[in-house]
Amino acid sequence: SFKPKDGSGNEDGGENFHGQKRKNDTHVSTTDPDSRLYRKAQGREAKLCDMGHALLENRNGLAVGGRVAQANGTAERRASEALLKQKTKETGKAATVGEDKAYDTKDHVAALRKLGVTPHVAQNNAKTKTGHHRQSAIDARTTRHDGYGMSQTRRKMIECIFGSGKQHGTMRKTKHRGLACIAGDFLLNLIASNLIRIPILVAA
């Protein structure tokens, strides 16, 4: 449920938003102020949510990092940069990362390269609403290598973690409120995924 940020509305708490546009800058959730309205794709309804982000080791399919952030148009890229910064600091080694088209922006690619991470992002050369084609932030100097194709293939393994977390875990609909509590719940889902995956790797 929502209420206007300016404090207007019915005294009994009941609201009628018929004919009104609800936006994050004008309305806030009454049950979880940390959540934000977010539309996952064009034509989909906006829902109150937070965004969970995971970092996957593509050589074994294990989750090696995770965090929860407020849902917005840049949250995925900022979370990726934060997770990779932490990981490269721990290992002290250069790395590559496979990501989808949503990560193909100049600022994100530049941020990863600054961290010593090679951005194997899926190229986004789609046609815009104005009829122009987007220009990918990477070119053949990155895509020509075999490692790029491998990263793009292996990155899809992360969908198994989220799929399992939604079907068997609590990712689809959390029972918690607030970023800190939701983050703890999200990380438990990642741990559970690893505990299922590790015996498979050991037996292989």
Q: What is the pLDDT of residues 98-141, one digit of tens each?
A: 999 999 999 999 999 999 999 999 999 988 888 888 999 999 99
Residue 77 has which token pair? 């890229």
Assess if residue 146 is contained within a domain: yes
Q: Where are the alpha helices (DSSP H) in 72-178?
A: 75-91, 106-114, 140-143, 146-154, 158-167
What letter represents residue 137's amino acid?
A
- 118 forms beta bridges with 96
Q: Sorting pLDDT into bands at 50, 70 and 90, what band is 18?
A: very low
- β-bridge mates for residue 98, sequence order: 120
The predicted pLDDT at position 7 comes to: 63
Residue with tokens 């690619």: 109
204 vs 200: CA distance, rounded Å? 6
What would the mean pLDDT of 85-102 be, rounded to a whole number? 94
**Which residues are bridge partners to 29 per DSSP?**
2
Q: What is the mean pLDDT of residues 158-171?
A: 94
Residue 34 and residue 43: Cα distance in Å, rounded? 24
Query: Does any domain span residue 193?
Result: yes
Could you tell me which residue, 18 or 51, shows the higher pLDDT?
A: 51
- Assess whether pLDDT exceeds 50 at residue 195: yes
Domain count, the chain: 1
Can you tell me the distance from the alpha carbon of 39 to that of 128, in angstroms, rounded to the nearest whole number?
A: 18
Has residue 23 been placed in a domain? no
Distance CA 141, CA 204 (A): 35
Over residues 19-60, the pLDDT tens digits come to 456 566 556 777 788 888 888 777 777 788 899 999 999 999
Q: Specify if 79 maps to a domain.
A: yes
Q: Is residue 171 part of a domain?
A: yes
Q: What is the pLDDT of residue 30?
A: 74
> What CATH number is attached to the domain comprising 173?
3.30.420
Element (H, E) at 40: none
Tokens found for residue 168: 């068997």
From CA 52, how far away is CA 41, in angstroms rounded? 16
Specify the pLDDT at position 135. 93
Whether residue 27 lies inside any domain: the answer is no
What proportion of the chain, given as a percentage, has pLDDT over 90?
68
What was the pLDDT predicted at 1? Answer: 60
Residue 103: other Cβ atoms inside 10 A: 21
Q: What is the pTM of this model?
A: 0.83
**Over residues 78-106, mean pLDDT:** 95
**Two tokens at 108?**
């994100």
Mean per-residue pLDDT, 91-102: 94
Kindly state whether residue 196 falls inside one of the protein's structural domains: yes
Reported as a pLDDT band with limits 50, 70 and 90, residue 12 is: very low
Per-residue pLDDT tens for 173-192? 889 999 999 999 999 999 99
Average pLDDT over residues 8-27: 54
Range of the domain at 120: 51-203
